[in-house]
């Protein structure tokens, strides 16, 4: 997918593509004139309220359980500064740059909505921080996903004040005052309401949801490709993927798309054509035959999740908010439940897709079920172990993903002296989904390695290179199944293109070698888009 190189912030929200463009590709951000004008207009209501004796949460009172504590006028600027310093209380490993940029951009989106009451110069300083490539250091732990992602956003706001810790565009940590000066940004002195507005949102969990969806849109297609290659490698049939078996009979759109991809990939394959001739199998195993149902279920879940994300991308999440008529109203829109639920929901089909992928890999490695392939796809079984331990790695990844599929959003730990007595834990749901998505890519990479190697073993050239004949070597496995000789056969054009692309960085079968670089190479082939590019090179645009 192509993303914009620049994004204009208006009062009407942003798109998922805008988030990815800023987070991953450093798209330049500009503030629309109408947004600046509305921000300035709304700020007048806050200035009026700040000068009055009327109690207003976050303007003339403390926060959380201290909401009933009145703050005198002369201490209200200090109130905002103290808020940011005290709430920048994260700990643990550093969060990834793209996640931090996503959460900052989404906070900026809400500031630009004109419902938070910040000053125009605050919005412009935050914009400049992102455009300069300055990334605050944010830590893994600190957010409960209620009252917003408070700690992560506070670490970002602290840098805007000229404090805290941050890295430059190249990822080097440097003193914050030095980074701001180099970018021509004056440290911000926060005014009434601004500290709260900078931290009170679902931006961290939403940013990670958007990034996960962007990754999964590619990975779910990659899963169709790897599954189809395994069907070829096992001399399976394309029959279950025929279009008349899907939408007309079971109208799930995701399933139909997955089946269409697999059916198209398998066309022109001699391996598939040899299915009945070689074995007479009526049906393939579930992990092959039911692949569209599982990948399709993930697709349909993603479609629902994308709707929730779109609603949140159009939202102005803050408390209190400034309404169109100037009223400043308390609310609970900062609660992360709607986002937390779908983060948890998405982790379930992601884990199940990986689980099915691992089962297909295991089938390729087992001579009792691989229909004539060498044990563990080894060059010289016994002396060589082939992909035996790669499957262990895959199984370990899947085991972790199953644990990560347990929901975070059903848990809650009360905080702030029981004022915040129910929290979403949406940040935790986001972090575990992010890990699951990364693991899915690794699982598919190992399946791709196994499928490509198995197809190589099926090929004429591969067989001839080993024993001078047109069949698999006796040292690798029996030459046939149920007394039938295994004829060599070529894969379809899509599989051939994929294997050719993979072989540019990952060697084919041979004696045992350092396996980790092969897995990493296959993972990068998928992550960089090489797998789907190879599919397109063969003339197929995956759905």
pLDDT digits (tens, 9 = 90+) for 384-411: 999 999 999 999 999 999 999 999 999 9
Give just the sign of the alpha carbon dihedral 470, 476, 479, 482: negative
Choice among 3, 25, 57, 263 that is catalytic: 57
Q: How far apart are CA 344 and CA 338, in angstroms?
A: 10
pLDDT at 485: 54
Q: pLDDT-derived band of residue 498, with 50, 70 and 90 as boundaries?
A: very high
pLDDT at 277: 63
> How are beta strands 28-31 and 6-9 bridged, if at all?
parallel
Please compute the mean of the pLDDT values over residues 21-28 and round it to a whole number. 98
Indicate if the pLDDT at residue 65 is higher than 80. no
Indicate if the pLDDT at residue 467 is higher than 60. no
Q: Three-state SS string across 307-376, please?
A: HHHHHHHCCCCCCCEECCCCCEECCCCCCCHHHHHHHHHHHHHHHHHHHHHHHHHHHHHCCCCCCCCCHH
Domain map of the chain by residue range? 6-201, 209-537
Task: Assign domain 6-201 to a CATH class.
Answer: mainly alpha
Please compute the mean of the pLDDT values over residues 142-155 and round it to a whole number. 93
pLDDT digits (tens, 9 = 90+) for 94-114: 999 999 999 999 999 999 999
pLDDT at 486: 61
pLDDT at 147: 80
Let me know if 304 is a catalytic residue: no
CA distances from 45 to 31, 48, 72, 326, 327 (A): 21, 5, 19, 6, 8
pLDDT at 146: 86
pTM (whole model) above 0.85? yes
pLDDT at 56: 77
CATH tag for 209-537 (out of 1.20.200.10, 3.40.50.720, 3.90.660.10, 1.10.1660.10): 1.20.200.10
pLDDT at 483: 46
Rounded mean pLDDT of the chain? 92
Indicate if the pLDDT at residue 6 is higher than 90. yes
Of 168-177, 278-287, 308-317, 319-328, the range with the lowest mean pLDDT is 278-287
Indicate if the pLDDT at residue 288 is higher than 60. yes
């Amino acid at each position: 997918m192509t993303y914009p190189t620049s994004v204009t912030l208006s009062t009407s929200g942003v798109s998922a593509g805008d988030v990815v463009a800023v987070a991953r590709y450093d798209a330049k951000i500009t503030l629309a004139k109408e947004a600046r004008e509305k921000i300035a207009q709304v700020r007048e209501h806050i200035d009026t309220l700040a000068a009055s004796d009327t109690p207003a949460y976050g303007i003339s009172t403390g926060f959380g359980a201290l909401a009933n504590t009145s703050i005198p006028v002369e201490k209200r600027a200090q109130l905002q500064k103290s808020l940011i310093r005290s709430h920048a209380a994260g700990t643990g490993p550093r969060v990834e740059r793209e996640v931090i940029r996503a959460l900052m951009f989404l906070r900026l989106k809400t500031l630009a909505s004109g419902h938070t009451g910040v000053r125009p110069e605050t919005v412009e300083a935050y914009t400049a921080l992102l455009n300069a490539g300055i990334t605050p250091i944010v830590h893994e732990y600190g957010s409960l996903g209620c009252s917003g992602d408070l700690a992560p956003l506070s670490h970002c706001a602290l840098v805007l004040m000229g404090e805290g810790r941050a890295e430059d565009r190249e990822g080097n940590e440097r003193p914050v005052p030095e980074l701001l000066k180099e970018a021509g940004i004056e440290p911000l002195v926060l005014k009434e309401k601004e500290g709260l507005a900078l931290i009170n949102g679902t931006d961290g969990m939403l940013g990670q949801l958007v990034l996960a969806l962007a990754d999964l849109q590619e990975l779910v297609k990659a899963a169709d490709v790897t599954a189809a290659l395994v069907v070829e490698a096992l001399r399976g049939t394309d029959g279950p993927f025929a279009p008349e078996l899907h939408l007309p009979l079971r109208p799930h759109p995701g399933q139909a798309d997955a089946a269409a991809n697999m059916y198209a990939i398998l066309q022109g394959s001699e391996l598939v054509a040899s299915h009945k001739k070689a074995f007479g199998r009526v049906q393939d195993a579930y992990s092959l035959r039911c692949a569209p149902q599982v990948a399709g279920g993930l697709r349909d879940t993603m479609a629902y999740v994308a709707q929730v994300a779109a609603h949140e991308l159009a939202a102005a999440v803050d408390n209190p908010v400034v309404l169109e008529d100037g009223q400043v109203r308390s609310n609970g829109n900062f609660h992360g439940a709607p986002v937390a639920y779908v983060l948890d929901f998405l982790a379930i089909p992601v884990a199940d897709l990986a689980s099915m992928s691992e089962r297909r890999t295991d089938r390729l490695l087992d001579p009792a079920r691989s229909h004539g392939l060498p044990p563990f796809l080894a060059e010289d079984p016994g002396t060589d172990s082939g992909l035996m331990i790669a499957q262990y790695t895959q199984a370990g990844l899947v085991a972790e993903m199953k644990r990560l599929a347990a929901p975070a959003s059903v848990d809650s730990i009360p905080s702030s002296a029981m004022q915040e007595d129910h929290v979403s834990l949406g940040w935790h749901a986001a972090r575990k989904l992010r890990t699951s998505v990364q693991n899915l890519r690794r699982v598919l990479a190992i399946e791709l390695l196994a499928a490509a190697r198995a197809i190589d073993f099926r090929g004429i050239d591969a067989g001839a290179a080993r024993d001078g004949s047109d069949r698999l070597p006796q040292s690798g496995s029996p030459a046939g199944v149920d007394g039938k000789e295994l004829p060599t056969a070529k894969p379809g054009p899509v599989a051939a293109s994929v294997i050719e692309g993979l072989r540019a960085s990952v060697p084919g079968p041979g004696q045992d070698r350092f396996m980790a670089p092969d897995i990493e190479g296959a993972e990068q082939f998928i992550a960089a888009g090489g797998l789907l590019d190879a599919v397109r090179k063969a003339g197929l645009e995956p759905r």
